[in-house]
C-alpha cells in the first residue's frame, strides 16, 4: 500500500470521526431512549448510534465508494477495492445513554485483512487518537507512548464486562483473581478508549473477553503503534476470545495469569 493511499484513508477516517463525534456530542436529545437491544436487554442501541453510523457510511460512500464496510449497527458490504472500513459509531453506548463522558467513535481501515489506519475520537475529552501502520500513534500533534516498564504490582489495568449475565459472572471471577496482584483495576465502559489510554500511558494494561472487530480494530493499532503489545491467549492474536494490550513488561506478566484464570472462556 502506498503512503499516498494511507494518507488518504487517514484523512477520510479523521473527517468521518470528527463529524460523527460532533453529531453525538451536540445532537444528543435530552430524552434519549433505547431504540433496540442486542445480546441481552441491557446491551442497548440508541437512535444516535444509528444516526452516527449512517453519517459515517454516507461519508465513506461519497469519498471511497468501492471500499467494503463492516459496522456495528448493520453496515456490511464487501467492496471491490481491497480496503474495508470497520466502524463502531458509538463505543460506550451505555455511558452515552447515562450522560457519562466515556464514549468515542472508532473507525479503522483494513487492507488485505490488516489494519492500516485507526482513528478514535473522544469528543467529551476533546481528543482524537490516530495511527497509521508503521507511522506511530498520535493525539493531535503529540506522539503517544505507552508507559515505561513497571512491576505488575504497580500496574494500573482496566477491563470490561459483557452484557450477557453468565459471561459477566465469570469475568468478575477473573477480575477478583487479578485485583490483588496489581495496583488497581478500572472499568470505564469503552474498549476503544481503554486501548487508547494504554497507548497514551494512562493505563499500564487492559484486557477483555467478547469484543467484536469494530470494538478493537482502531484501538489495537493505536496501542501497538505507541509501543504496547497486543494479543490474546499465548501465541494468538487479539480476538473476541480475549484481548490484552499492555506495556511489554506488564503484558509478559499479565498474559499467563489471564490464561491460568480462564479469561478466554465463559
What are the structural domain ranges in the chain? 3-143, 152-261
- Please give the CATH architecture assigned to the domain spanning 152-261: 3-Layer(aba) Sandwich (3.40)
For residue 189, give the 3-state DSSP assignment: coil
- Among 208, 206, 233, CA closest to 222: 206
Rounded to an integer, what distance in angstroms lies between the CA atom of residue 19 and that of residue 242?
31
Q: How confident is the model at residue 44 (pLDDT cuts 50, 70, 90)?
A: low
* pLDDT, tens digit, 9 for 90 and up, residues 215-235: 999 999 999 999 999 999 999
Residue with cell 456490511: 76
Q: Is the confidence at residue 43, as pLDDT, over 70? A: no
Report the alpha-carbon distance of residue 140 to residue 128 in Å, rounded: 6
**pLDDT given at position 16:** 98
Residue-level pLDDT at 241: 97
Name the band, by pLDDT with cuts 50, 70 and 90, for residue 46. Answer: confident
Q: At what angle do helices 165-178 and 248-261 cross, to 10 degrees?
A: 120
Angle between helical axes of 191-199 and 213-225 (0-180°, round to 10): 0
Q: Write the class of the CATH domain 3-143.
A: alpha beta
Tens of pLDDT, residue by residue over 140-198, are: 999 999 999 999 999 999 999 998 888 999 999 999 999 999 999 999 999 999 999 99
Pairing of strands 205-208, 156-159: parallel
> Whole-angstrom Cα distance, residue 125 to residue 213?
24
Mean pLDDT over all residues of the chain?
A: 95
DSSP 163: S
pLDDT tens, position by position, 181-195 = 999 999 999 999 999
For 214-249, letters b (16+ CB in 10 Å) and e give: bbbbbbbbbbbbbbbbbbbbeeeebbeebbbbbbeb
CA distances for 228 relative to 73, 113, 201, 236, 254, angstroms: 29, 21, 10, 16, 13
pTM, two decimals, is 0.96
Amino acid at each position: 500500500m502506498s503512503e499516498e493511499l494511507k494518507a488518504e484513508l487517514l484523512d477520510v477516517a479523521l473527517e468521518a470521526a470528527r463529524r460523527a463525534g460532533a453529531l453525538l456530542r451536540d445532537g444528543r436529545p435530552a430524552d434519549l431512549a433505547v431504540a433496540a437491544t442486542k445480546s441481552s436487554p441491557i446491551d442497548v442501541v440508541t437512535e444516535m448510534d444509528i444516526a452516527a453510523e449512517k453519517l459515517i457510511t454516507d461519508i465513506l460512500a461519497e469519498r471511497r465508494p468501492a471500499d467494503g464496510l463492516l459496522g456495528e449497527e448493520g453496515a456490511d458490504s464487501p467492496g471491490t477495492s481491497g480496503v474495508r472500513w470497520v466502524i463502531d459509531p458509538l463505543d460506550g453506548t451505555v455511558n452515552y445513554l447515562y450522560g457519562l463522558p466515556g464514549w468515542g467513535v472508532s473507525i479503522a481501515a483494513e487492507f488485505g485483512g490488516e489494519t492500516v489506519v485507526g482513528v478514535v475520537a473522544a469528543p467529551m475529552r476533546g481528543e482524537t487518537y490516530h495511527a497509521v501502520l508503521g507511522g506511530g500513534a498520535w493525539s493531535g500533534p503529540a506522539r503517544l507512548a505507552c508507559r515505561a516498564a513497571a512491576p505488575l504490582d504497580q500496574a494500573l489495568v482496566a477491563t470490561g464486562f459483557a452484557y450477557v449475565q453468565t459471561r459477566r459472572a465469570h469475568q468478575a471471577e477473573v477480575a477478583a483473581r487479578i485485583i490483588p496482584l496489581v495496583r488497581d483495576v478500572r472499568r470505564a465502559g469503552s474498549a476503544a478508549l481503554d486501548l487508547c489510554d494504554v497507548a497514551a500511558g494512562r493505563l499500564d494494561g487492559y484486557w477483555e473477553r467478547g469484543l467484536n472487530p469494530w470494538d478493537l480494530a482502531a484501538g489495537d493499532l493505536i496501542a501497538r503503534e505507541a509501543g504496547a503489545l497486543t494479543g490474546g491467549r499465548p501465541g494468538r492474536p487479539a480476538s473476541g476470545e480475549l484481548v490484552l494490550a499492555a506495556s511489554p513488561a506488564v503484558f509478559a506478566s499479565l498474559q499467563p495469569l489471564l490464561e491460568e484464570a480462564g479469561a478466554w472462556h465463559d
